[in-house]
Structures are given as C-alpha cells and as structure tokens.
Structure 1
Amino acid sequence: MTETQRRDPMSSPENRRIRDLVYATFAAEGRAPSIGELARVTGADTETVKRLLSELHGAHALVLNVERDAVRMAHPFTAAPMAFVLTPLDGRDDRRWWGGCAWDSFGISAAINLDVRIDTACPQCGRSLSLVAGPDTAPQGELAVRFPRPAAEWWEDVVATCTMIRLFCSRDHAEQWTAEHAPGTGYVADAGTVWDLAQAWYGDRLDPAFEPHSREHNQALLEERGLSGEFWRLP
C-alpha cells in the first residue's frame, strides 16, 4: 500500500527506530513486537512508544489495531492470521509469516529476499493453492488476483482491503466470484503482474536506508505494469 504525503515519520530518529524495530521483528520472527518490548529495547517509556506508533499509523508507515495498543500490520507483514501462510523453502529455516493478501504475500518474499511457499485457497471453488514465489521466481499457471476497490479507497479500511485482495485459481474463477458476490466492482490482474509489482513496491522495505515512496513513484510503478486508469489512481 502506498504511504501518504503527510509528515514523513522517518524524519524523526525516534520514529525511525520504532519503525525499523517493528519491521526487523516481523522479518526475523513473523510477529509484531509488543509496546512493552519496544519500550525495553529503545529505553523509552510505554507512553512515548504509543505516541510514536500512533504517529507512524497516521502517516501510513504501519497499521495499529482498533484499540491502538498493538501493531496490526506493517506492509507487507501482518500480525494476525489472514488467508495466506508463507513458509521458507529451506527446511532449516523455521520462520513462518502470515500474508495479509496475495500482493503482500509476494511482497514478503521480496522484502526478505527469500523463496517461499505460499499456501492459500481459491475463494470461488475452495481448492487449496500452494505455490512457490521469490525475488526471481514468478508464480506459475493461470492464477489471478482480484483487487476489491480502487486505489483511492485502499486506506479507508486498509485491513478490509487487504483481506479481500485474494488469489484465485484462474481469471474465470475471479470473475465468477465477482459476479456472484460483488458484481460490477474490483479489478482482476494476472498473478504474475502482481508478483512483479510486489518486487518493486516492497523489495526495499527492509533496507537500512529505506525512504517512503512518493505518490508519483508508486503511480509510475503501477503504470509501468499496465495498471492504469481511474481504478489505479492513487490518492
């Protein structure tokens, strides 16, 4: 998801350290650090950590839960079970991650620079889907990804948006699901296109020198992959 052009939270060393600790914990352990853990590691009090997290949430650098007392998402990572499970192909690596959506699942492998197995199910037929993806490994087959709402609306309820960016067996199944459950809405893209987008969108998310992408940068990433028009116009 795109960061908004509000005050850049990464301009503050305190915000930046909290943000980087959240991402590092997700990458290393597949979970979000607690407020107490962040306070202990940074030496800050819990109220300061809550304030910094709230600022990062407001800038769309991460997503807090409804109660605002825990990290819910730090795209492409999610702290709660959703529709995707990611497992490293290397059997000696016992990490696991929840993927918030099809796009974010590809994004996790891009961010951590690792080939993974992604397990999910087709919403239309219920068939289990297990695929391999990585920085240099595109998904194979006729898989398709359905985006539920236009880009301008993603952040109105970002968790709900992610929940519905699902992977389907085929474009036909995605279109059948749409006709039955949400006629006239959404956009269906080839999984390979979404995988390619994820590499550029999320591949630098864990870089020490990461800077939030500008709206113009992200809009160009979409258009370069044929994702253009009003549906894909970022706010």
Structure 2
Amino acid sequence: MGRAIADVRAAYRRLHDRHELVLQPDGETIRMAHPFSGVPTAFAVTAGGRRYWANCAWDTLGIAAALRVDATIDAVHADDGTAARLRVIDGQIDGDGQVIHFRQPWRHWYDDYIFT
C-alpha cells in the first residue's frame, strides 16, 4: 500500500489508544476490530456464507448488523458451557428466550478488555 512499516505500526497504536481496535501484546497484530475478533472465540457468526469470530455476545449482533445479512450465531453460555444459538433474520433477533449477560459493568470494560 506504499506505507512504511513504522507508519502502519504508529497508526495501529493510535487506533488502539482510542479504543478503535485492540492490539495483541506484540503491539503489531490486531486482536479486535470491533465487532470482529482476530482470533477464534466462543462466539461464532455465520453470515453471507462466511464464518466470523466475535469478541463477545454483544459483538455477534454487531457483526450481523454491520454486514446487513441474516446470520446464525453460535456461542457458549459462560456459566455452564452449554451451547447457545441465535438467529438474526431481516434484522430481528430470533433467540428463543436467550439472555446476554455481561460480567463487567460498562464502566469497567476497558480495564481488561480481553476478559470483558
């Protein structure tokens, strides 16, 4: 793309510092570009014939919204490890009574974003 590696790394760092993406500890590899995860997680979204990883349950819905397509969401309940499946059809959630629970209050999400 015609950019020096140092310039790209500096741009990544600026985006990371503004919470627009999350870098791996190496400071060079993207871990999260919301709502997408750069690593496999317990939150998978199948949409438009492709599979994506989300960072959390909230981000699974963000992927469906960002892509503007129907999606199937497969996740694991944090409390007991059982499977959960949601579908987003025509922008509406079909979850058969599923609940999304956040362990951390929003004000603490950036304290340890990977844990949150």
TM-score relative to the length of structure 2 = 0.90
Change (3 A) 1:123 1:154: closer
Q: Select the residue among 96, 99, 105 that pairs with 1:150.
A: 105
Consecutive unaligned residues of structure 2, counting only runs of 5 or more, are none
Change (3 A) 1:108 1:80: same
Task: Report the structure number with the largest CA radius of gyration.
Answer: 1
| Counterparts of 2:112 and 2:80, CA distance in 1 | 26
Q: Select the residue among 79, 83, 91 that pairs with 1:128.
A: 83
**Larger % of helix: which?**
1
1:52 corresponds to 2:11: yes
| Counterparts of 2:91 and 2:60, CA distance in 1 | 14
Instruction: Name the counterpart of 1:81.
Output: 40
Q: Deviations over 1:68-111 (max 9, x none)?
A: 011110111110111111112x5xx2x21001111000000001
| Counterparts of 1:122 and 1:160, CA distance in 2 | 15
What displacement does 1:128 show?
2.0
Number of aligned residue pairs: 116
Higher relative CO (Cα under 8 Å, sequence separation at least 6) belongs to 1
| Counterparts of 2:89 and 2:115, CA distance in 1 | 25
Alignment of 1:99-114 (within 5 A): 99-114=54-69
| Counterparts of 1:134 and 1:105, CA distance in 2 | 13
CA RMSD of aligned residues (A): 1.5
Counterpart contact for 2:73–2:86, Cα < 8 Å:
yes
